[in-house]
Amino acid sequence: MACHRSQPRIYVALDTADEGRVRDLLAVLDPSLCGVKIGKEAFTALGPRAVEWARERGFPVFLDLKFHDIPNTVAQACRAAADLDVALVNVHASGGRRMLEAAREAIAPGADTPALIAVTVLTSMEDADLVEIGVSDGAEAQVERLARLTADMGLDGVVCSAREAAAMRALFPGESGLVVTPGVRPAGSARDDQRRVVTPAEALANGATSLVIGRPVTAAAEPGKTLEAIVAEL
């Protein structure tokens, strides 16, 4: 696997379309403690400006757009993402071998290029949800199937539930292997629409390399202090 820029232990998810809210969160969070995840909601409403604001404050950015399209389209999107100077880009592993290969070829390895990871099974999905789309052997088997394909195609890691993190670290070992886990909820936090959830400490113990934490930080009365408390706990 290629050597890309280093990854923070925590990405705080800025899942909002509100420009003022994004700017407020960037102002109160500490870029020495976390990166920020900019996903579909913020990017659709605010565009590349949201990435620029985060980069100006010194945050590593996870551009969480989960590209899933024909190979050429995904390759062009990955190139455009790399041009935004982000730290991490993702695609859907279910896009298949040729799409993953095109994405990998689009981002040249290097210390200043984004790492490229693939989503296996969304943490909002349970076995019953997978049955409805034709996957009958459960989330765990589907995660492993897609992760092996991702590793075969030379990507840097995966997005998965922390419950699957240990198995994923076996496929993506060492300092360059990435296991990024959403669905992380500090003890006592609401589960919201996530299903396969664990605490931050459990996620790291299971083998996660970066945690994505959203509402437990961003919906807190004092997001900056809440982030500091989570980091201190780790």
What pLDDT, in 10s, does the model give residues 171-190?
A: 999 989 999 998 787 765 65
Domain map (residue ranges) of the chain:
10-233
Q: What is the pLDDT of residues 62-83, one digit of tens each?
A: 999 999 999 999 999 999 999 9
Predicted pLDDT of residue 190: 55
Per residue in 18-49, pLDDT (tens digit) is 999 999 999 999 999 999 999 999 999 999 99
Q: Name the phi and psi angles at 119, rounded to 5.
A: -75, 130
HSE (CB half, 13 Å, CA atoms) of 48?
8
- Of the candidates 103, 96, 120, 91, the one whose C-alpha atom is nearest the C-alpha of residue 183 is 120
Per-residue confidence band for 3, with pLDDT thresholds at 50, 70 and 90? low
CA dist 182 and 160 (Å) reads 7
Average pLDDT, the chain: 91
Residue appearing with tokens 């403690």:
33
The question of whether 156 is a catalytic residue gets the answer no
Annotation marks residue 193 as catalytic: no
Is 64 known to be catalytic? yes
> What was the pLDDT predicted at 92?
97
For domain 10-233, the CATH superfamily is Aldolase class I (3.20.20.70)
State how far the Cα of 25 lies from the Cα of 125, in Å rounded to an integer: 28
Q: What is the pLDDT of residue 164?
A: 84
**Which residue numbers belong to the known binding site for substrate?**
15, 37, 64-73, 123, 185, 194, 214-215
The active-site residue, picked from 69, 85, 127, 129, is: 69
- Residues making up the binding site: 15, 37, 64-73, 123, 185, 194, 214-215
**Is pLDDT of 191 > 60?**
no
**pLDDT reading at 5 higher than 80:** no
Would the pTM count as exceeding 0.85?
yes
Closest CA to 21 of 225, 199, 215: 215
**Burial track 19-48 (b if 16+ CB lie within 10 A, e otherwise):** eeebeebbeebeeebbbbbbbeebbeebee
Please name the helix (run of DSSP H) or strand (run of DSSP E) that holds residue 45, with its range, or none. helix 40-46
